[in-house]
Amino acid sequence: MGKINLAVIYYSSTGTNYKMAGWAADAGKSAGAEVKLLKVEELAPQSAISSNPAWKAHVEEAKDVPVATLDDLVWADAIIFSMPTRFGNVPSQMKQFLDTTGGLWAQGKLANKVVSAMSSASNPHGGQEATILSLYTTMYHWGAIIAAPGYTDAATFTSGGNPYGTSATVEQDGQIRENLQDAVVHQAKRTVNIAEWIKNGKSQ
């Protein structure tokens, strides 16, 4: 049975989605996948980053994380995206990366990728679900297969009940309000499992 290649691709300004992506990457490895943890390129000006201590600290924290490339998308059988909401939409950093995939899309190289997504905001109804659904719209154009967690595990209920993808509510001190790790782990393992079915056949 072929091993699944899982790319966990995130954008994070102050570290929440970096943490969530790390949980997903670890869960993917424990599920037997070959995993790459990757960030999209930061587009914000240095002046904006430097004026926010938490943002500046996270840029330093994640300086050694590789930047995602189109080759990483070709390599991956499954992809988990994690990003904060920006007015109910994906952040410009993630959108810029997605907007470079037209050539791969035209060649059919993004079809049948198994994709799942996670998000965060500073309040419980801050656009997390809309952000995940917005990203999934791009995935439908790819011809990707969405691996939403739904209500397939009790962790979905204890983490806020978002069936589209795990979502965080982040307090002003940067702490995540919900108990999210179990939900992220379930979502990542489910994504790898579905990718195995696609790649190797469910009967295997």
Q: What is the predicted pLDDT for the residue at 203?
A: 55
Strand ranges inside the chain, DSSP E:
5-10, 34-39, 78-84, 114-121, 145-146, 167-169
Which residue, chain included where needed, has tokens 């469910």? 202
Cα 34 to Cα 31: distance, rounded to the nearest angstrom: 9
Q: Which residues touch 68 (CB under 8 Å, ≥6 apart)?
A: 7, 9, 38, 39, 40, 97
- Residue 122, pLDDT above cutoff 60: yes
Cα 85 to Cα 106: distance, rounded to the nearest angstrom: 28
Q: What is the predicted pLDDT for the residue at 123?
A: 84
DSSP bridge partners of 7: 36, 79
Model-level pTM?
0.94
Q: Residue 149: pLDDT band by 50, 70, 90 thresholds? A: very high
Over range 17-33, report the average pLDDT.
97
- The sign of the dihedral angle between the CA atoms of 113, 166, 28, 30 is negative
Summarised one tens digit per residue, pLDDT across range 35-71 is 999 999 999 999 999 998 888 999 999 999 999 999 9
In Å, how far are 20, 137, 146, 185 from 182, measured between CA atoms?
A: 11, 26, 20, 5
The domain segmentation of the chain, as residue ranges, is 5-200
CATH architecture of 5-200: 3-Layer(aba) Sandwich (3.40)
